[in-house]
Every structure is written in C-alpha cells, then in structure tokens.
C-alpha cells in the first residue's frame, strides 16, 4: 500500500506547522502567529524506524478564511482525515480546552484511523497537569513541546505502535484483494448503465434525465470467479452550475469515491465533445495518483462513422500529460468490450501494487543518467546518488541527490518516462520524491506530481 499518512489536525494556532517541521527535522511549513497561514495540505515523506510514513500538515479547523477559502480549507482537511493511518489531534496545553477543540474532537469521533491527542506547548514538567485536562476527549495524551524539544521520541513511538501492519502470512491468507473500480464522468455518460451490465441486474436507476444518480453507490459483482466492487458516482457539473446541496454533496462524494478506488474509469460520451468538467475530473484523478482508463462509451452510435483513431488523437491532444492512460471503446448497454475493459483495469491494479528491487532500480537509474545526464546549473551538474521504491499504490520512488532543486521539471519527467518504459509501471502514475542526501548537511525536498 501507499506510505501510511500521519495527519496533523487541530484548531488554528496550536502549533500544527511547528509540530510538522519538528517531526520532519526541517523547516518546511510556514510558521506564523497569524491564524490561517496553512491552507492546502503539505506532505513530507519521513523515515520512521524501518519504514516510511507521509507526514501531512493541514489548515486550522473552524477558521473563517479572509479570502473566502474556508470551504476549500475544510475540504482539504477532510480529505486528509479520510486518508489517514494515524491522526495527531494537536491542542495547546497553555490555553487549555477551547470551544474549537471541542468541535475538532467531535469531528474526529467519526474518523476510522486511531487518534493521538498531542498536547503541544507543554514546555516543562510542571505543565503536565494542564496537558492531562485533555483526557476528557477520551484519547491517549502525548505531551510535547516543539520549542523545548520535549516528548519527541515518545510521540514517534506512539505513532509507530498505531501504524497498520500487514505480515506476509496475513497477505497470503487474504489472497488477492478485491479491486474497487470508480465510474466517474459528466452527467448522462452511461456510468449507471455499465454498472447494471456488470452486476447483471438493475441495481442503479437509469434514465435520460441528467443527475439521476445522487450518491456514490457500491455494487459488488463477480466476473470469472473474482469479486469486484463497482462504485457508481453522481455525474458532475461545472462548479458554477452547482446550485443545490444535492449537487454539492454529489460532487464531494464523487471525489471521495475517486480517493478510495483502486482504478478509476473516466467516462466520455462518444457523441459529445470533451468539456471543462472532464478536464477538472482528469486533474483530480492525477492529483490522487490513481490508475485510470479513459472510457469512450456509447460507441455503437459512431461505429462505422468515425475511426477510433480520431477519438484517440482527440483525447491525447486534450490530456497531454496523461499520455500513459489507456483508452477503451465500449457500449455499456450491450456489454460490448466491457469484459476486456475490466481485464485491463485488473492489469493496472497489479501494476500499481508491483514492487521492484533497489538493485534493479539503480541499474536502470545509472543507465538513464549515463544516457542523458542532468543539465548543468550554475556551473555545477546535479548528482543523483541512488534510488529506492518505498511504497506501492501508487508506486513511490525516492531518489537521493545533492541538489533536488537543481533537477528541472523537464528532467524529472524524463526520469519518470524511463521508469515507466522500463519498469512494470507502464500505465499507472508514479510518485517521485527527491531528497537531499543527509551527508550533505542540508535539507531540501521536492515532490513531483503525476505525469
């Protein structure tokens, strides 16, 4: 699985970003007394014992943003909570329990991940009794002080104890996991029809009225003796057309379905042009590093009238950064090419869960560097020392180098292209981290987005 995420949450000004920097051992997040400085999620791949975790900093819960971005900030926080393996609920030992702390505690009651209450600003032993006040939230308390460097090892040990673990024996007993396939796209592109075809029953209401599906629905079905889950999602509209609560929550649930899917099928109507909504969906799928197939549905309407190559060229020209995504032409109503589509989705699922040895990766890396060395920057050529794969789903590769910031986006795309061509990740997103080697005594990191 992907590197487990340790998510930092809490009300504004309790020291979440300070905690993030302290645990990372690097000044990555902006720390300021002004509430609301952190808006988007910030991540850092951190070694913990013999494994890696992804540390996630979030905005303050309950703040009214001055630029009317409150909704965006809250959505980012919820995304982080939904994907967390461990949640660090940060509180201020000096201030004691505030009304917003109560609100955060209430919201975390519904979190599926274990929650640790981190009482920050417990600067000395005499303040322990103030930290103990937070036991009323029913969580384990870890008293720390980022400014006085107190309690760090205890917190790291507590995180490690709560990380999910799966032994080789357990994986053997569980066997091949089910694949969750999310069907996403604009309204009336035939998503529910295809789900009914897969399930061989009228599980979903299908009509010509756009927006018939108003919630994400899981439908279990069996093909060739294997069980799968199809997630039917509401058809999405342009943001300015979202006028009702049903539209708003439908969009939110569709995005959540993308996050929990193993493979995403992005639907297009063969008789319709690609829209802004399609582009927004594609961007969101890429941001989540999800394996994806472009599904051109209702192809029976154009069969014999338009060559498939024309639609392929149209898709490739529109989504130029998604050239690795396979394309399928299907007719959901009759089931034509649907089985081949699911077989291809299984291939992507396996690619996303594959792992390569460090030796194989570094042999390929050396060859790529010899063939095309990094461009010289300020009369110095950046060096990449070695790489290792640290996680799957998505395949996550960590490269150690002397100057991450000197490796251009173009060169990172070159490396990703080499990895995709030569490793078993040909059609799935790859997450690439660049890390300054510790021996240089400096700290810098760049995260590369999906290509």
pLDDT digits (tens, 9 = 90+) for 149-187: 999 999 999 999 999 875 444 344 344 457 899 989 888
CA distance 237 to 438: 47
8 Å CB contact between 120 and 93: yes
User: What are the tokens at 434?
Assistant: 């660049």
Residue 136, burial from CB neighbour count under 10 angstroms (0-12, 13-18, 19+): exposed
Residue-wise pLDDT tens digits, 371-428: 999 999 888 899 999 999 999 999 999 999 998 989 999 999 999 999 999 999 999 9
Domains 174-352 and 358-448 equal at CATH topology level: no
Tally the C-alpha atoms within 13 A of residue 350's C-alpha that lie toward its C-beta: 8
If you write DSSP's letter for every residue of 228-261 in order, what string do you get? EEEEE-PPB--GGG--SHHHHHHHHHHHHHHHH-
CA angle 349–298–251, rounded 5-degree value = 60
Question: Which residues share a beta bridge with 446?
Answer: 434
What is the DSSP secondary structure assignment for residue 37, as one 8-state letter? Answer: -
Q: Where are the beta strands (DSSP E) in 58-148?
A: 84-92, 115-120, 140-143
Tell me which fold the domain 358-448 belongs to. Answer: GMP Synthetase; Chain A, domain 3 (3.30.300)
Give the DSSP H or E segment for 416.
helix 409-422
Which candidate, 231, 230, 229, places its Cα nearest to that of 215? 231
The CATH number of domain 5-162, selected from 3.20.20.70, 3.40.50.300, 3.90.1720.10, 3.40.718.10: 3.40.50.300
* CATH architecture of the domain covering 174-352: 3-Layer(aba) Sandwich (3.40)
Q: Where are the domains of the chain?
A: 5-162, 174-352, 358-448
Of 9, 10, 173, whose CA–CA distance to 81 is shortest?
9
What pTM was computed for the model?
A: 0.68
Cβ contacts of 396 within 8 Å, gap of 6 or more:
2, 3, 45, 389, 390, 430, 431, 432, 433
Cα distances (angstroms) measured from residue 38 to each of 6, 254, 331: 17, 26, 46
Torsion of CA 333, 219, 269, 241, to 10 degrees: 140
Report yes or no: 419 and 448 within 8 Å, Cβ to Cβ.
no
**What count of other Cβ atoms lies within 10 Å of the Cβ of residue 208?**
6
To the nearest 10°, the Cα dihedral for 65, 66, 72, 76? -50
Please give the chain's pLDDT, 451 residues, in tens.
568 999 999 999 899 989 998 998 877 665 544 444 444 467 788 888 888 888 888 888 876 654 555 676 787 788 889 889 999 999 999 999 999 999 999 999 989 999 999 999 999 998 999 999 999 999 999 999 999 999 999 999 999 999 987 544 434 434 445 789 998 988 888 887 887 777 664 433 333 333 333 345 667 777 777 778 888 776 665 555 444 444 455 577 778 889 989 999 999 999 999 999 899 899 999 999 999 999 999 999 888 888 999 999 999 999 998 999 999 999 988 888 988 999 999 999 999 999 999 999 999 999 999 999 999 988 889 999 999 999 999 999 999 999 898 999 999 999 999 999 999 999 999 999 999 985 544 444 444 444 4
The encoded tokens of residue 145 equal 């002080």
The H or E element spanning position 447 is: strand 445-448
Q: Which residue has the tokens 């093909």?
A: 223
| Backbone dihedral angles phi then psi of residue 276, each to the nearest 5 degrees | -65, -35
């Amino acid at each position: 699985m992907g590197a487990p995420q340790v998510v930092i949450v809490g009300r504004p000004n309790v020291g979440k970003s300070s905690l993030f920097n302290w645990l990372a051992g690097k000044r990555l997040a902006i720390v300021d007394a002004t509430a609301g400085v952190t808006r988007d999620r910030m991540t850092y791949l951190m070694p913990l014992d013999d494994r890696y975790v992804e540390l996630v900093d979030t905005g303050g819960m309950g703040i009214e943003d001055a630029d009317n971005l409150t909704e965006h900030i809250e959505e980012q926080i919820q995304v982080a909570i939904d994907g967390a393996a461990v949640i660090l609920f940060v509180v201020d030992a000096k201030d004691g329990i505030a009304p917003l702390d109560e609100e955060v505690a209430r919201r975390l009651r519904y979190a599926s991940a274990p929650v640790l209450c981190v009482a920050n600003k417990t600067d000395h032993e005499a303040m322990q009794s103030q930290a103990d006040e937070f036991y009323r939230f029913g969580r384990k308390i870890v008293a720390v002080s980022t400014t006085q460097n107190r309690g760090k090892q205890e917190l790291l040990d507590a995180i490690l104890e709560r990380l999910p673990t799966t032994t080789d024996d357990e994986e053997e007993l569980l066997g091949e996991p089910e694949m969750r396939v999310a069907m996403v796209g604009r309204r009336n592109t035939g998503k529910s029809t295809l789900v009914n075809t897969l399930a061989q029953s009228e599980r979903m209401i299908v009509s010509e009225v756009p927006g018939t599906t108003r919630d994400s629905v899981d439908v279990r079905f069996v093909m060739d003796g294997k069980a799968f889950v199809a997630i039917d999602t509401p058809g999405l509209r342009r943001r300015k057309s979202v006028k009702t609560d049903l539209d708003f929550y439908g969009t939110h649930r569709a995005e959540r379905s993308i996050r929990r899917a193993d493979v995403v099928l992005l639907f297009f109507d063969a008789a319709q042009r690609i829209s802004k909504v399609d582009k927004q969906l594609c961007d969101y799928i890429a941001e989540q590093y999800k394996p994806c197939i472009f599904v051109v549905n209702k192809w029976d309407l154009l069969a014999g009238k338009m060559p498939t190559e024309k639609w392929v060229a149209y898709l490739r020209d529109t989504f130029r950064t998604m050239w690795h995504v396979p394309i399928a032409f299907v007719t959901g109503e009759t089931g034509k090419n649907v089985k081949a589509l699911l077989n291809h989705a299984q291939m992507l699922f396996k690619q996303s869960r594959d792992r390569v040895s460090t030796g194989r990766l570094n042999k390929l890396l050396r060859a790529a560097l010899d063939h095309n060395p990094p461009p010289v920057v300020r009369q110095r050529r950046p060096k990449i020392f070695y790489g290792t794969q640290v996680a799957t789903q998505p395949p996550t590769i960590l490269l150690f180098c002397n100057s991450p910031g000197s490796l251009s986006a173009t060169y990172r795309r070159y490396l990703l292209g080499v990895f995709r061509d030569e490793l078993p990740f040909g059609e799935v997103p790859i997450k690439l981290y660049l890390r300054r080697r510790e021996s240089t005594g400096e700290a810098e990191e760049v995260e590369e987005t999906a290509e």
